[in-house]
Amino acid sequence: MSKEIATFGAGCFWGVEAAFRSVPGVTDVASGYAGGNTENPTYKEVCTDTTGHAEVVEVEFDAARVSFDQLLEVLWNTHDPTTPNRQGPDMGSQYRSAVFFHTPEQQAAAEASVKRLTVSGRFANPVVTEITPAPRFYRAEEYHQRYFEKHGYH
């Protein structure tokens, strides 16, 4: 197994986590926070939109079974990457679209994928997904992990 980590922001992490869990080759997914300036943030703090953190998922995957490019396709199919700081009814920088890359290869793949999306015309508006180095990941409170499995999809 060739274990790698990917970190994505795409709005509320509950649905994003569920989407990535269903991908063959993904070995684990955790909901959490990244990209801000508050250490050990809580959900309540992140929801104030003052910590700088985004709700994210940290995806552990077997690169021999699923590629980073395939995970990017899941990301694009999971949210609208053209709406800054908003996904559906959720508003604030904590819901921003983000790829936090762990390697130069992930950075190059994310940038190339955004270029392909832009040229394709798939979205009417420009893609605003931030592509930045992976910061420290803070795992969200346990009640956020596998949320839809525990509570069903609402």
Catalytic residue positions, numbered: 12
Cα 22 from Cα 2, distance rounded (Å): 19
Nearest to 138 by CA among 33, 53, 3: 33
Q: What is the dihedral of CA 107, 103, 96, 139, to 10 degrees?
A: 170
Say if CB 100 and CB 8 are below 8 A apart: yes
Question: Quick one: tokens of 144?
Answer: 């956020």
Q: Beta strand pairing status for 97-101 and 130-133?
A: parallel
